[in-house]
């Protein structure tokens, strides 16, 4: 597993308190919201702020967010693409 | 069923037409005068209208008996009707209401801190009128709201013939528009949110006028996450052609970890309803949530 995805999974478990899984157990392709990791709209606020804080990458709207929030894989790809 | 709905629509359109005619002929006063027989007959004949206003009025004036409750309903609906007439009169005449923003300097100072500001408001007073006058603030203002472009009674801010003073973030969008709202706050801008009406999503339960009520939680989490203050700004219609927008309270919701979030939400919810309670002591008939607010 690459370092970025590992870091993201740690953020999901430690900061967003995703229940019942360890970072290693999170599927790279699982949807972040709804049925996948079960995040909700309040978690989305925290996630946007955490991405900015840890990676200095801003998700400005849902046109970008829809793509980025699809899974750990897509979020990692989005961050790589927008790293300053 | 469709025929009945059509007839109702035609009747509503006729009602609007009569009001617009009265306003064209006699100005804003014409609309106000026409309100009295219309609302009087509604209150006299419609059980539903009393059911819609009753949940609030019963709690706001628990000591009132049948006659005073009847009068309360009339006053509440007249107040609401005047806000709607103002909106129509604006569209017909092109004139505007005059207002003051009490606490404007405080609002500007908070905006200039660059941390973003969550403007928390409610469906009270002539809020659309008042919020349409926020264009002079030093940062862009956004409204996180459900926006019905097809509404028969157009939004006030679309009737002024000027550019809207704020951008709308549609709360019907994916994740309720919170991504756009977060980004706006991160840029140091302002986001207005209705703190009273729960339209789905996360909520906090607090006591308000003696009973538990669910309030939307988004505003407090947004503010806490980006480090912005919550500023409660409520509008009131203070005269025939006047409004007042007033800063009623400011606080900084914070939580360090998820375990502290529920307590932050409870404290913030309590602060908001205390302010709302104070507002309603001053303007008891300018409450415009016509449904059982305590069952939302």
d(CA B197, CA B70): 25
Residue B152's pLDDT is what? 44
The answer to whether B242 and B132 are in contact (CB under 8 A) is no
Number of domains, chain A: 1
Residue B150's pLDDT is what? 47
**Mean pLDDT value across chain A:** 90
**Interchain contact A83–B (C-beta under 8 A):** no
Chain B nearest-CA distance from A64, in A, is 10
Q: Which residue of B has its CA nearest to A60?
A: B183
- What digits encode the pLDDT tens for the residues B116-132? 999 999 999 988 888 87
Nearest by Cα to B268 from B219, B234, B227: B219
Mutation choice for B interface testing from A14, A34, A49, A82 by most B CBs within 10 A: A49
Q: Do B221 and A42 touch (CB under 8 A)?
A: yes
Residue B90's pLDDT is what? 87
Chain B nearest-CA distance from A1, in A, is 27
Candidates A15, A40, A61; nearest CB to B179? A61
Candidates A41, A48, A49; nearest CB to B201? A41
Candidates B173, B183, B226; nearest CB to A59? B183
Residue B164's pLDDT is what? 60
Q: Do A45 and B182 touch (CB under 8 A)?
A: yes
d(CA A28, CA A2): 11
d(CA B54, CA B76): 10
Residue B173's pLDDT is what? 78
Q: Which residue of A has its CA nearest to B171?
A: A41
Tens of pLDDT along chain A (84 residues) come to: 589 999 999 999 998 988 888 999 999 999 998 888 888 889 999 999 999 999 999 998 888 888 899 999 999 999 999 986
Mutation choice for B interface testing from A18, A32, A39, A41 by most B CBs within 10 A: A41
d(CA B64, CA B77): 17
Q: Do A62 and B180 touch (CB under 8 A)?
A: yes
Structural domain harbouring A25: 3-82
DSSP helix, strand, coil percent of chain B (3-state; round to 5): 50, 20, 30
Which stretches of chain B drop beneath a pLDDT of 70? 1, 148-164
Residue A1's pLDDT is what? 56
Residue B149's pLDDT is what? 53
Residue A72's pLDDT is what? 95
């Amino acid at each position: 597993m690459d370092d970025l995805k590992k870091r993201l999974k740690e953020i999901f478990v430690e900061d967003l308190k995703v229940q019942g899984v360890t970072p290693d157990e999170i599927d790279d392709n699982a949807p972040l919201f709804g049925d996948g990791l079960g995040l909700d709209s309040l978690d989305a606020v925290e996630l946007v702020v955490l991405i900015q804080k840890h990676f200095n990458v801003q998700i400005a709207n849902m046109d970008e967010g829809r793509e980025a929030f699809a899974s750990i894989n897509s979020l990692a790809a989005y961050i790589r693409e927008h790293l300053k | 069923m469709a025929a009945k709905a059509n007839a109702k629509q035609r009747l509503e359109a006729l009602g609007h037409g009569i009001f617009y005619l009265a306003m064209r002929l006699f100005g804003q006063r014409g609309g106000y005068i026409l309100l009295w027989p219309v609302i009087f007959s509604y209150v006299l004949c419609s059980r539903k209208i009393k059911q819609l206003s009753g949940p609030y009025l019963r709690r706001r004036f628990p000591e009132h008996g049948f006659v005073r409750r009847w009068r309360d309903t009339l006053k509440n609906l007249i107040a609401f009707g005047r806000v709607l007439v103002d909106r129509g009169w604006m569209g017909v005449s092109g004139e505007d209401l005059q207002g003051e923003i009490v606490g404007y300097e405080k609002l500007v100072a908070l905006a200039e801190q660059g941390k973003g500001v969550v403007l928390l408001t409610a469906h009270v007073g002539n809020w659309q009128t008042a919020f349409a006058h926020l264009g002079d603030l030093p940062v862009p203002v956004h409204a996180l709201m459900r926006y019905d472009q097809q509404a028969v009674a157009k939004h006030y801010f679309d009737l002024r013939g000027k550019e809207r003073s704020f951008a709308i973030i549609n709360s019907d969008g994916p994740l309720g528009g919170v991504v756009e709202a977060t980004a706006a706050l991160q840029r140091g801008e302002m986001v207005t949110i209705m703190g009273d009406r729960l339209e789905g999503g996360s909520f906090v339960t607090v006591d308000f006028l003696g009973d538990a009520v669910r309030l939307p939680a988004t505003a407090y989490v947004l503010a806490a996450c980006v480090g912005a203050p919550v500023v409660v700004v409520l509008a009131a219609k203070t005269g025939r052609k006047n409004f007042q927008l007033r800063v009623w309270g400011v606080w900084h919701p914070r939580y360090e970890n998820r375990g502290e979030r529920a307590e932050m939400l409870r404290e913030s919810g309590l602060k908001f309803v205390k302010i709302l309670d104070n507002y309603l002591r001053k303007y008891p008939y300018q409450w415009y949530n016509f449904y059982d607010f305590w069952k939302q």
